[in-house]
């Protein structure tokens, strides 16, 4: 009977040890489940941030594309206006040259007319 009591005490000690380990494992499982839930929340938060950043990236890329197109159009317009300005400057230069020629012709014609008037007055 004594051996039976010892064996029973030994089994009870093993059960207590197993229960203690089971409690520790249960606590560890609960801790790991809590960490898992926390990581899931963190993952969800990061996924939301990624979606938001992707939307912002798409929007920014569209804005860059629009700005690039606007820049190209403006650059083309500047080029056209520079050509037009050059042409107008050339036209102005030609008109000023023609104006000087006409002034010279007018002056020569006026002098010739004045000379003729003087000659006619003398007659």
Provide the pLDDT for residue 3: 86
DSSP letter string over 76-98? HHHHHHHHHHHHHHHHHHHHHHH
DSSP letter string over 27-41? HHHHHHHHHHHHHHH
Q: What percent of the chain has pLDDT over 90?
A: 86
Residue range 15-30, pLDDT digits in tens? 999 999 999 999 999 9
Is the predicted pLDDT of residue 102 greater than 80, yes or no? yes
Is the predicted pLDDT of residue 123 greater than 70, yes or no? no
Residue range 70-83, pLDDT digits in tens? 999 999 999 999 99
Rounded CA gap, 40 and 44, in Å?
Answer: 6
Sign of the alpha-carbon torsion through 35, 36, 37, 38: positive
Rounded CA gap, 80 and 92, in Å?
Answer: 18
């Amino acid at each position: 009977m004594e051996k039976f009591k010892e064996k029973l005490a030994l089994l009870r000690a093993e059960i207590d040890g197993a229960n203690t380990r089971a409690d520790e494992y249960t606590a560890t499982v609960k801790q790991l489940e809590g960490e898992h839930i926390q990581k899931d929340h963190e993952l969800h938060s990061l996924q939301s941030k990624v979606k938001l950043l992707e939307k912002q990236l798409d929007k920014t890329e569209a804005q860059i594309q629009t700005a690039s197109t606007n820049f190209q159009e403006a650059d083309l317009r500047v080029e056209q206006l520079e050509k037009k300005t050059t042409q107008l400057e050339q036209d102005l230069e030609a008109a000023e040259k023609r104006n000087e020629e006409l002034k010279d012709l007018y002056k020569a014609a006026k002098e010739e007319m004045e000379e003729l008037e003087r000659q006619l007055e003398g007659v």
